[in-house]
């Protein structure tokens, strides 16, 4: 299995310990070589919905493509400590191009505090790892999977996120072997 290159990039302010945790663990989920680009991407206020104050995820991905400063063989997963939505959905935990280069993970709804529960850094990091791993799977060409424990299972709520694992199932991994993930 060949190894894809992934760069993790913060957009706006993101704690470094979040990026470092993800960079350390993601290669255990997928065959990727990871680096962190700590030079944060700015988020133009015009990308926020005036009513809901959420980031428009699709427009944010278009904006990222226009800001491309990374190597053409690198996939780019941007971490945003904010809330976002996409057409037809009240919110998204993340979004990525299928088999493409750009993806984003939105952290706001991964914190227990968002749901009125007490702060729990390890639970928050585990959720962030699951969502980053899920979007990375899409970047590597994987679609949603029906295996309950698989990280590629679609999550409609935070409870769905908590039920799944942060790694892909054997079926998804075998698809990657066939697809040849090198870009
Ligand atoms: Zn998905
Ligand atoms: Zn799977």
Please report whether residue 89 resides in a domain.
yes
Task: Give dist(CA 103, CA 48) in Å, integer.
Answer: 17
Please report whether residue 86 resides in a domain.
yes
Ligand (nearest to CA of 165):
2
Domain that holds residue 77: 4-177
Please report whether residue 71 resides in a domain.
yes
Query: What is the count of structural domains for the chain?
Result: 1
Q: What is the CATH number of the domain that holds 105?
A: 3.40.390.10
Please report whether residue 125 resides in a domain.
yes
Confidence of residue 120 (pLDDT cuts 50, 70, 90): very high
pLDDT tens sequence across 57-71: 999 999 999 999 999
Mark the residues whose beta carbon lies below 5 A from ion ligand 2: 145, 147, 150, 152, 169, 172
Q: How far is the CA of 160 from the centre of ligand 2 (A)?
A: 15
pLDDT of amino acid 177: 79
Q: How far is the CA of 155 from the centre of ligand 1 (A)?
A: 8
Whole-angstrom CA distances from 99 to 50, 51, 71, 108 are 31, 32, 16, 25
Q: Is 135 a catalytic residue?
A: yes
pLDDT of amino acid 1: 54
Among the listed residues 47, 34, 33, 38, the one whose alpha carbon sits nearest the alpha carbon of residue 17: 38
Q: How far is the CA of 109 from the centre of ligand 1 (A)?
A: 16
Q: How far is the CA of 116 from the centre of ligand 2 (A)?
A: 31
Active site residue: 113, 117, 131, 135, which one? Answer: 135
Per-residue pLDDT at 179 exceeds 70: no
Please report whether residue 136 resides in a domain.
yes
Task: Give dist(CA 167, CA 40) in Å, integer.
Answer: 27
Per-residue pLDDT at 117 exceeds 60: yes
| The two structure tokens encoding residue 164 | 């799944």
Ligand (nearest to CA of 143):
1
Per-residue pLDDT, averaged over 28-54, amounts to 95
Entry field: residues in the chain: 183
Please report whether residue 183 resides in a domain.
no
pLDDT tens sequence across 134-174: 999 999 999 999 999 999 999 999 999 999 999 999 999 99
Among the listed residues 125, 121, 127, the one whose alpha carbon sits nearest the alpha carbon of residue 157: 127
Distance from the Cα of residue 89 to its chain's centroid: 17
Confidence of residue 180 (pLDDT cuts 50, 70, 90): very low
Please report whether residue 76 resides in a domain.
yes
Q: What percent of the chain has pLDDT over 70?
A: 96
Please report whether residue 182 resides in a domain.
no
């Amino acid at each position: 299995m060949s190894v894809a290159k992934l760069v993790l990039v913060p957009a706006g302010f993101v704690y470094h310990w979040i990026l470092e945790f993800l960079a350390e663990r993601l290669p255990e989920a997928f065959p990727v070589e990871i680096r962190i680009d700590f030079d944060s991407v700015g988020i133009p206020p015009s990308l926020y919905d005036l009513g809901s104050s959420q980031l428009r995820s699709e427009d944010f991905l278009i904006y990222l493509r226009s800001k491309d400063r990374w190597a053409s063989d690198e996939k780019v997963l941007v971490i945003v400590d904010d809330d976002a939505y996409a057409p037809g959905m009240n919110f998204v935990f993340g979004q990525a191009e299928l088999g493409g280069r750009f993806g984003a993970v939105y952290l706001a709804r991964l914190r227990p505090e968002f749901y009125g529960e007490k702060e729990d850094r390890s639970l928050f990091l585990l959720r962030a790892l699951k969502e980053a791993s899920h979007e990375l799977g899409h970047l590597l060409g994987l679609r949603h999977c029906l295996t309950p424990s698989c990280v590629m299972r679609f999550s409609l709520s935070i409870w769905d996120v908590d039920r799944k694992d942060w790694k892909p199932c054997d079926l998804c991994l075998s698809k990657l072997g066939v697809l040849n993930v090198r870009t």
